[in-house]
Amino acid sequence: MILTRSLAYRYPQGPALAFPDVDVAQGGTLLLQGRSGAGKSTWLSLVAGLLTPAAGSVTVAGQDVGALRRGERDRWRGRTIGFLPQRLHLSDALSVERNLALAFFAAGLPEDRAGVRAALAALEVDGLAQRRPGELSGGQAQRVALARAVLLHPRVLLADEPTASLDDEAAAAAVGLLRATAGRCGATLVLATHDARVRAALPSAQVLRLEPAQALA
Ligand code: ADP
Ligand code: MG
């Protein structure tokens, strides 16, 4: 679950943003909508504990994120949050398999090679384990990044503009894959997007619409 109350953020050299309250049940799906610049990526970073709110609170799977000490946050995030960033951040210096293995170190957990294989197999990219990310197609790279995001069985899966630059068929497939992958983990799914096709693909999802007017700058 994700619960926010009176959440606000101010960039040091940028706008102040205030976000509407939201309650998403564990295993639910939230569409975070709004134009470019409305604050979608900022909201994801606040929920993931990557940014500290100027005001208000975020609770994820029962944990008050603001109550975590700095040293605890990275481990908590590694075990709780699966993140599919807009830029996938796969290192081309490492094989696909080694890219996934890094997630264990970030979460302070021992490496689990069988877990890496299982995550790649679930996304049907286990055949690419020894390849470099730069050799993959966009769709393959997104599947690898999604395998990494769910490697540690997160409670929440956050996807930032997952359909950007995809054609209609690939966009629908990507949304279906995210929903199925979150369902397999029992994770709450958040899709941050300004792409109207995502709403069409998930008609029953809960919607949080961020209005540029809510930027208080
Ligand atoms: P979205 O993901 O909906 O496009 P963002 O969360 O990226 O929106 O940005 C919200 C607002 O905050 C925008 O006005 C953007 O320019 C501003 N912003 C984002 N990141 C920074 C930053 N690092 N420093 C200053 N302003 C920022
Ligand atoms: Mg964004």
Residue with CA nearest ligand 1 atom 22: 11
pTM across the whole model: 0.95
**The ligand 1 atom nearest the CA atom of 38:** 3
pLDDT tens series, the chain, 217 aa:
999 999 999 999 889 999 999 999 999 999 999 999 999 999 999 999 999 999 999 999 999 999 999 889 999 999 999 999 999 999 999 999 999 999 998 888 999 999 999 999 999 999 999 999 999 999 999 999 999 999 999 999 999 999 998 999 999 999 999 999 999 999 999 999 999 999 999 999 999 999 875 445 4
Residue 201 CA: distances (Å) to CA of 56, 150, 173, 205, 210: 32, 22, 9, 9, 20
Q: Which ligand is nearest to the CA of 86?
A: 2
Residue with CA nearest ligand 1 atom 15: 37
- Ligand 1 site residues, Cβ closer than 6 angstroms: 11, 13-15, 34, 36-42, 215
Q: What structural domains and CATH numbers belong to the chain?
A: 2-212 (3.40.50.300)
Residue with CA nearest ligand 1 atom 18: 14
DSSP for 109-140, please give it. Answer: ----HHHHHHHHHHTT-GGGTTS-GGGS-HHH
